[in-house]
Structure formats: C-alpha cells, structure tokens
C-alpha cells in the first residue's frame, strides 16, 4: 500500500512540473496561458490516467494467489482479457488526448458537418467484432474443458447450508448412492436413499474440512439446502454456484500438496463472512489412510439404530421402576 501511495505522490509532483514547463513555454512564445490551460489540463489528466493505470497494474500489491490446480488456462484467459481491454483503454484515452488538442476552440474555425461516415462505421464494426471475439473465444474453449469431466474423476458431493459445508465421497464400490431432498433430516443430512445399495458405503464427512488426493481429478457436485452458495478455493481457479433444488458441477485436478481455505463466493446472509472451510491436498498414501478413518452411511445407520435401541431400553427400565414404585405405594 505504501508503494502505491508513493506512486501517487510521484504523479502529483510530475503534474506540477508539467504545469511549470507549460507556463514557461507560453510566456516564451507570448501565448495566452489562461486560454489554453483548460485543454492542457484535460490532456495531462488523460495522460496521467493512462500511465497511472498501467503502472498500478504492474506494481499492484493485490494479485492472484499461486495456482494449485490444472486450470492454468483460467489465468491465461484473464491475462489476455487484461491485454485486450487494457489496449482498448489506452487507445481510447490517447485518442481523447489527441482530440482535446486537435479540435480545441480557435477563433474563426468552423466544425465540419459530417453526420455519416460509412468507412469509419465499417472500421469500428470490424474492430469491435474482432475485439469481442478475442475475448470470448479463449473463454469458450476453457468453458468446454470445464464442463467435460474426465472419466477417472472421483465424485465429491458438497452440501452447502447456512453457514457451513459437509461432504460425501463414494465408498469401495466407487459410486455415490442416490439422494432425495425429502429424505434430508438430522439423521440423514445428505438425503441418501436408504434402499439404494450404492449409498450404504458412502463416506460422510460432516465437517467444514475435506481431504483430496494429489494429481487426481475431482468432480465437485454442489447442492444447497437453503439459499445460493458457492464453493470456492482461490488456488484451484474454479468455482460454481450451489443452487437449491438442482445439482451443479465442475471439475479440477489439484496438483500441489498443501492446505487451502474454502470460501463461500456467493452472498448467503448475515453469516456469509464466516462460511469458511478447508481443503488439504495429500499424497495417495496419506489420503487413503485418512479415507479409511472416515464414517460411512452404514456406520451412521448402525449408530442411530444402536442409540434408538438404548433409548427404548432406557424407557422400558424407567417404566419398570415407575411401576414398582406405584405397586409399593398401593
């Protein structure tokens, strides 16, 4: 931030210096400084905006994080957008500077009446078309790759809620069980169909933190139980909205071992700022060890059945004790 402030002060000093030089030039050649200073100021301001914008982009302390996935194409597309958009911005500003000096008011000069210029219209039409195509084409190529998931990708079901995350992974059969929205409750947080045999071995991670295998494609399946959310890890360069009532998806391949923060990139209420989590990308050995320690849907059902049995047993014992006390009183 201090570096940016110093650049700003440098531009202020540069502007003052240009004013002094311009005044000296006007006095030397007996020009009316008060007459032309308005145009001069406008031209200088445009030039400073151009130079300042370029330098700010080069020296800005706010830049993207180190990439940790296969989506280098995302960075390349953004860079191309900066170059094309920046080039148009500089060209337009320089043209405005030229117009300020070239067509400034002079006594006796008359403006040329020219309501149409077919040649200029053709040039602008083709230039705009090529510029828009240069911006859209790379993005469409990346989007095509973004939605075409590799066959060897592992599916990860991400359930979003205000304000947290929980995850479901396929078990030994390598396939996620089917789900139904009406099945979602405290005992079945993912809404898994109990009768589906593929869902019994599904691995449940009821936590804001998830582990992923390094250099293994991942297909993220996004669901939401309440409002719009967005599962976003900046280092993975990919994200997608979680929309209530439908399943959205995208994929990426983490390629750098480490821990990364998960953010919700869609405003979802007063607790949006705190809807955070984490991803740890691990080696295959460490990931398999972590996976073996997680609870399956079958384990959850067994635990609930055991708890229900113990509750019934406790109620039965309490009733027996209560009946004995009543018998003694009689």
pLDDT for residue 21: 61
> Across the beta sheet with 238-242, what order do the strands follow?
209-213, 276-282, 258-264, 229-233, 238-242
Residue ranges of domains in the chain, CATH in brackets = 2-104+116-147 (no CATH), 154-305 (2.60.40.420)
For the chain, list residues with pLDDT below 70: 1-42, 105, 304-330
pLDDT for residue 90: 84
Task: Tell me the HSE value of 153 on the side-chain side, using a 13 A CA sphere.
Answer: 20
pLDDT digits (tens, 9 = 90+) for 147-205: 899 999 999 999 999 999 999 999 888 888 888 888 888 778 888 888 888 888 889 99
pLDDT for residue 314: 57
Q: State how far the Cα of 200 lies from the Cα of 188, in Å rounded to an integer.
A: 12
pLDDT for residue 25: 55
pLDDT for residue 30: 46
Report pTM. Answer: 0.72
Q: State how far the Cα of 95 lies from the Cα of 84, in Å rounded to an integer.
A: 17
pLDDT for residue 19: 60
């Amino acid at each position: 931030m201090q570096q940016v402030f110093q650049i700003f002060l440098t531009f202020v000093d540069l502007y003052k210096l240009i004013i002094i030089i311009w005044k000296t030039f006007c006095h030397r050649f007996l020009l009316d400084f008060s007459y032309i200073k308005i145009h001069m100021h406008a031209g200088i301001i445009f030039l400073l905006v151009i130079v300042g914008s370029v330098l700010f982009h080069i020296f800005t302390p706010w830049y993207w994080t180190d990439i940790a996935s296969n989506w280098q194409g995302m960075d390349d597309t953004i860079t191309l957008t900066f170059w094309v958009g920046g080039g148009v911005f500089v060209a337009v500003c320089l043209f405005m500077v030229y117009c300020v000096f070239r067509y400034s008011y002079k006594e006796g000069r008359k403006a040329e009446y020219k309501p149409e210029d077919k040649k200029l219209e053709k040039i602008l039409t083709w230039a705009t078309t090529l510029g828009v195509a240069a911006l859209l084409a790379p993005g469409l190529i990346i989007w095509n790759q973004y939605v075409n998931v590799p066959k060897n990708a592992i599916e990860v079901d991400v359930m979003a809620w205000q304000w947290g995350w929980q995850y479901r992974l396929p078990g030994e059969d390598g396939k996620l069980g089917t789900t139904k929205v009406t099945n979602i409750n405290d005992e079945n947080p993912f809404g898994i169909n109990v009768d589906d045999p593929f869902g019994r071995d599904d691995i449940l991670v009821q936590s804001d933190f998830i582990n992923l295998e390094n250099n293994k494609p991942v297909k993220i399946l996004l669901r939401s139980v309440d409002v719009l959310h967005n599962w976003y890890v900046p280092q993975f360069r990919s994200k997608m909205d979680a929309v209530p009532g439908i399943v959205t998806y995208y994929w990426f391949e983490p390629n750098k071992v480490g821990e990364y923060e998960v953010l919700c990139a869609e405003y979802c209420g007063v607790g949006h700022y705190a809807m955070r989590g984490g991803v740890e990308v691990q080696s295959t050995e460490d990931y398999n060890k972590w996976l073996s320690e997680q609870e399956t849907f079958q384990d959850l059902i067994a635990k609930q059945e055991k708890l229900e049995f113990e509750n019934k047993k406790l109620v039965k014992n309490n009733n027996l004790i209560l009946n004995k006390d009543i018998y003694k009183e009689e």
